[in-house]
Chain A
Amino acid sequence: MVKTKKKAGLLQELKESIPAYILILPTIAILIIFLFIPFANAFRISLYKYKGYGELRNFVGLDNYVKVLQDEQFYRAFGNTFKLIACDLLFSITIGFILAYILFKGIRLKRFFNTALFIPYLISMVVIGCIWRIIYDPTIGPLNQILEMIGLGNLAQPWLSQVGTALPAIIVTWIWRTIPFNMLICYANIMTLPKDQLEAAEMDGASQLQRLRYIIIPHMIPTFVTLGILTVTNDLRAFDMVWVMTQGGPGGASDVLTSYVYSNAFQSQKFGPATAASIIMMVVMIGITILLQVVKKAGGKNNE
């Protein structure tokens, strides 16, 4: 008796849910076809030797994972990705905050600066990659010509085709592109600082640096954490700019995780190892995301 009642209740609930189900059905269908089935297939492919066409026949178990974990280039790409993330966290967020702070304090031509400083963010990574590839060009590139003009001609070099300079050159461009975003978000959050708090501190004779140190920066910590999370998740996926500027070269010197996966799959036709590498990458990403969320929660508690 009770059971049938429960059953009827569930049926009733499902019936009432029909309009909602109709509305979400297209999305769920698209996700099944273009996300969940491919995702499941990725795990299958990672267990096979596969050239990118035909049936999956050559089962190799976990060999692909072993291959990736033994590939020095994989660790290099990993290291490069983390160098990118570290530099981005350190420089991009710091510079973004300093710019936001200067705008917050007030400056002549503020409207001009607001617009001008934001420009790099409006250009796509691909176009920026193309533009900066020309800027770094050894002969017609403005960078080398400027160096020669100011008497530092001996520093002029083929930035993107040298093992030592390719990655740093990309990182500089990357930071150039990400600063405006960090600046905008910092600015938005600095503006939510209660004015009377700052005024009170000023009346108590707190110097500018003291105000920055004891009021503004503590107020900004949650913002920095959010920007940190966005930076990490964004940079782990870095591909467009790297691919356009160097394709991970020369000799894999500027490979990041995604370009490593891409070139293994679509250039070397090693789809098994490439997919295995991307799954390892996902595990790392999820691990980092969980870690960051824990840090964020802990940070939030300390702040209260």
Chain B
Amino acid sequence: MSKSISKRWNRKKGNEDQGGTSIITFIIMLLVALISVYPLLWVIIQSFKTEGQFLQSIWSLPTSLNFDNFITAFEEANLAVYLKNTVINTGATLVVDLVLVTCLGYAFSKLKMKFKKFFYYMILINMLIPTPIILLPMYLQVVDLGIQNTLAAIVFPYYQGFAPLGLILIKGYMDNIPDEIIESAKIDGCGTFRILWKIMVPLVKPMLVTLAILGGMNAWNEYMWALVSISDTSKYTLSVGIAVIRDKIATIGYTPVFAALTVSAMVFVIIYLFAQKTFVRSITAGAVKG
């Protein structure tokens, strides 16, 4: 269902009449598109200008492609460190997200489990608990466990937040896979875990991509927990780091900040431009079920 929607969204030529709208609507749409895109475009343009050019006029175009601002941002403003940390955090979170959520989906969808309802709601109840409540106690917990500033202190809390949506989505997907496939594999002598790995995982691959996009966006963009829990500036994520860089305008100037903002903003824009279909499908799925 969501697949066909994303297909329509991406179809090059709709079969609706293309001139169905008046010229006024078209101009209004152009204006709306301009408002949507221009802030980012403006930031990108500034990031190629020199500080002097920028201060002279914020509307001028760069005279040449100058990458100095990016170099300043990456080296002096630690953007490279923040980026690296975020890549590692997101990668590790995704591994945990996907492996554990697949296990959950299989257990809840296909296996016999006593007290299934109880455990199911035990995981879903998380949706009703706003993060600010557990912010401080979770921080104290992380300090108690001695894992502050480590990968574990990021990955597990992120997985904790992702598990309910992940479970709902993958369970729904697995529920549609006929039990006969599993039964026949059992007859062939496959064990539970072998079936999971050899049969279920390949079958749910499209859903794993969806989950990777949703979980990846969560982990990449998360701000509040990173802000609270990371005290070591060399472990800062992009979200926390970009705010730090922004506050450095007085020392490094505006244009390197624009370069840093460009890099941070473009990551998902680029992924979207290359995988529009998958992206739209994922976000639609995440919304309808969430």
Contact = CB atoms under 8 A, between A and B. Distances in A.
A289 B196 CA distance: 35
A78 interface: no
Interface in B1-56: 2, 5, 8-10, 12-14, 16-21, 25-26, 29, 32-33, 35-37, 39-40, 42-43, 54-55
A115 B114 contact: no
Interface stretch (B69-77, B125-133, B177-185, B201-209): B125-133
A189 B203 CA distance: 27
B221 A108 contact: no
A261 B130 CA distance: 11
Interface in A257-304: 257-258, 261-262, 265-266, 271, 274-275, 278-279, 281-282, 285-286, 289
A153 B203 CA distance: 61
B61 interface: no
B32 A130 contact: no
A121 B269 CA distance: 9
Contacts of A145: 58-59
B187 interface: no
A39 B140 CA distance: 12
B33 A39 contact: no
B37 A119 contact: yes
B107 A23 contact: yes
A33 interface: yes
Interface string A5-48: 00000100110110111011011101101110111011001000
A34 B8 contact: no
A99 B163 contact: no
Contact of A34 (B18, B54, B157): B157
Contact of A285 (B20, B130, B287): B130
B217 to A, nearest CB: 8
A150 interface: no
A214 B62 CA distance: 52
B246 A133 contact: yes
Contacts of A102: 21, 25, 29
Interface string B262-280: 0011001100110010001
B221 A237 contact: no
Given A42-B133, A118-B272, A181-B283, A105 B221 contact: no
A212 interface: no
Contact of B36 (A180, A265, A275): A180
B233 interface: no
A45 B287 contact: no
B67 interface: no
B133 A105 contact: no
B228 interface: yes
A281 B42 CA distance: 38
A140 B59 CA distance: 10
Interface string B249-272: 000001001000100110011001
Nearest to B263: A127
B15 to A, nearest CB: 9
A124 B239 contact: yes
A282 B128 contact: yes
A130 B128 CA distance: 29
A20 to B, nearest CB: 4
Contact of A117 (B32, B145, B287): B32
Contacts of B95: none
B290 interface: yes
A24 B239 contact: no
A185 interface: yes
A21 B111 CA distance: 10
Contact of B273 (A42, A112, A115, A142): A115
Contacts of A120: 36, 39
B236 interface: no
Given A127-B265, A131-B43, A261-B132, A37 B193 contact: no
B39 A132 contact: yes
A206 interface: no
Contacts of A20: 107-108, 111-113, 116
Given A31-B163, A35-B160, A127-B265, A122 B272 contact: yes
Interface of B: 2, 5, 8-10, 12-14, 16-21, 25-26, 29, 32-33, 35-37, 39-40, 42-43, 54-55, 58-59, 100, 103-104, 106-108, 111-116, 119, 122-123, 126, 128-138, 140-141, 145, 156-157, 159-160, 163, 192-193, 196, 220-221, 223-224, 227-228, 239, 242-243, 246, 254, 257, 261, 264-265, 268-269, 272-273, 276, 280, 283-284, 287-288, 290
24 contacts: A16-B112, A20-B108, A23-B104, A30-B100, A30-B156, A30-B163, A33-B141, A42-B136, A99-B32, A106-B20, A110-B18, A112-B33, A115-B273, A119-B269, A120-B39, A126-B239, A130-B246, A134-B43, A142-B42, A181-B283, A188-B9, A191-B8, A281-B133, A282-B128
